[in-house]
Structure 1
Amino acid sequence: MVLASNNGPLRKDIEMKNRARMLISCPDQPGIVAAVSQFLFEYGANIVQSDQYTMDPEGGMFFIRIEFDLEELANRVEQLRADFSGVADKFKMDWSLSLASQKKRIAIFVSKEDHALLELLWHWRAGDLNADIAMVISNHPDMQSLVEPFGIPYYHIPVTADTKAEAERRQLEVVGDKVDAIVLARYMQIVSPSFIKHYANRIINIHHSFLPAFVGGKPYAQAHNRGVKIIGATAHYVTEELDGGPIIEQDVQRVSHRDNVEDLKRIGRHIERIVLARAVAWHVEDRIIVHNNKTVVFN
């Protein structure tokens, strides 16, 4: 039997029981923060964190993320949502309210490379990824023996050029509405527009280059051919434009003329793991607002 320490999972669950997160975007104007703060004050809520950003202060957009605690939150959240709609309508807000105690469920799609998948599994097992991994789906059987010891369902759904539509139908059948987000952890398949529509701004991909450089296949070979001195990785939301969706996180590392393509791949795997883990953590913690083809990330 393992007892949780004061800083362990049990204490964290207690702290999150009455905590909510609010994401708001709206046209910038005076009084937004005051109105939201006053509303929460009158409800008896205690704001524990607030971050805001104004894009183009002259007639631009305003973004804010607020975390607050409210007693008996689970019993009051629906009424809170209904009452806040009046404030939201006044300021033309696009907004969401989520409970920190309700962990988001994710599905991980993977092919034959295991580094990005393993990083997520390690973070999840350590309690550093505040989500439930509902399933892993792969177009190859290779990762099954790695995943199953974690107690996570594994689905092998082969994909070929001739069976792609049927494979996606099967994937949709398996995933359905059971998850809040899909993570493409080096899933080496292009996802169709019809699949993307089911999970708009909820599919996160890791691309092995510093976008917008070297989109598409074999980016490390492309980078080597150009003799670059910096390589990187990019986590982004998936859209119909190949590797062109809103960027969530990026990182880079210096390389030299001595590094061949295999060296770049080896160095790049480390960057990919870190970048994807950050992006997924920020998504499940409601730290990202998508605006047009950009993101505001309150990290």
Structure 2
Amino acid sequence: MHETHLSNRARLLISCPDQPGIVAAVSQYLQEQQANIVQSDQYSTDPEGGTFFMRIEFNLPSFEERFERVLQDFAPIADSFQMNWRIEQERRRKKMAVFVSKEDHCLLELLWRWRSGELEVDIPVVISNHDQLRDIVESYGIAFRHIPVTKETKLQAEQQQKEVIDAYDIDFIVLARYMQILSPSFVESFQHKVINIHHSFLPAFIGANPYQKAFDRGVKLIGATAHYITDDLDEGPIIDQEVLRVNHRYAAEDLKIAGRNVEKIALARAVDWHIQDKILVFENKTIIFN
């Protein structure tokens, strides 16, 4: 079992209209709270009328006694700059649910990194529309829920999935080669909280059978794309992409086998960035502070 790592560190994430004084106001506030800034990153889409993004990591003494006060007292500053903002506690481990179907390579990569401590997250449950991966998941001491899905039962199945997610107090979901399209109502309930891995270098080869499409096109690079899901299939904000060079000797099945490596790398990296609050979504793009 993973124990909660008690830390005095927090992360402040901000997006707002760009204007003078933002960095100074935030820095002064944290200084007044006796917080020590250990890392600060910022980016503006356009200094003249653009959107400003900021991520700050800071240590806060007497964390348990003071954190809620820091949250409350920052609100007026945020309002004055029209900020969208949040402060995350490093000591609070996020809870991640994994959705899978039959293929196990992305799931196993996440489980291995979790068990080795590379992913500082809790995985209370894995949900699947098939039962094949139960033994693997349960061998890690993680609950496995088999919820079959058919065209006729999709909405009922999603309601069961939501009940499981609520029961385990899940923060975000990872689709580790979950071969089902989620309904608009499900997507709306978890905006920017569902990470998918698509086995293609988007925007190329959207939809099913991308490796066959790549083979038919004679590509020299294959890729995988980790992204947040939206109602538009495979068109949500891209978090990370990975590629692998191939040649004419690769058959469609060879591309599929090679592609599994780039899929699991891209997905694990995207999950890690989400866990560490390094991602800010802007329109249909992401700002990654890494």
For 1:45 and 1:167, how far apart are their aligned partners in 2?
Answer: 46
Instruction: After the TM superposition, list the runs of 4 or more consecutive aligned residues in structure 1 that deviate by more than 3 angstroms.
Output: none
CA offset at residue 176 of structure 1? 1.8
SS of 1:137 mapped into structure 2:
strand
- Residue matched to 2:156: 166
Question: Take 1:87 and 1:127, find their aligned partners in 2: how far apart are those partners?
Answer: 37
Q: For residue 181 of structure 1, what is the amino acid of its counterpart?
A: F
| 1:74 shift after superposition | 2.2
With structure 1 as the length reference, what TM-score do the two structures score? Answer: 0.94
Which of 203, 214, 218 is the matching residue for 1:223? 214
Please, which of 123, 126, 130 is the counterpart of residue 136 of structure 1? 126
User: What percentage of aligned pairs have identical amino acids?
Assistant: 59
1:46 has 2:36 as partner: yes
1:198-217 paired onto structure 2 within 5 Å: 198-217=189-208
* 2: CA distance, partners of 1:166 / 1:131: 29
Could you tell which deviates more after superposition, 142-151 or 173-182? 173-182
* 1:267 aligned onto 2:268: no
**Residue 22 (structure 1) aligned with residue 23 (structure 2):** no
Match of 1:182 in 2: 173
Query: Does 1:101 pair with 2:91?
Result: yes
Q: Distance in 2 between matches of 1:252 and 1:173?
A: 37
Could you state the TM-score of these two structures normalised by the residue count of structure 2? 0.97
Aligned ranges 1:249-288 → 2 under 5 Å = 249-288=240-279
Q: How does 1:22-171 map to 2 (within 5 A)?
A: 22-171=12-161
The alpha-carbon deviation at position 56 of structure 1 amounts to: 2.0
Helix, strand or coil at the partner of 1:206: strand
Structure 2: segments with no counterpart, 5+ residues: none
| Counterpart residue type for residue 112 of structure 1 | K
Cα distance in 1 between the residues matched to 2:13 and 2:142:
30
* Structure 1 unmatched ranges of 5 or more: 1-8
1:231-242 equivalences in 2 (<5 Å): 231-242=222-233
Question: How far off its partner does 1:57 sit?
Answer: 2.3
- Which of 271, 276, 282 aligns to 1:291? It is 282
Question: 2: CA distance between counterparts of 1:298 and 1:246?
Answer: 15
Query: 3-state DSSP class of the match of 2:5?
Result: helix
Query: Pairwise CA RMSD of aligned residues?
Result: 1.3
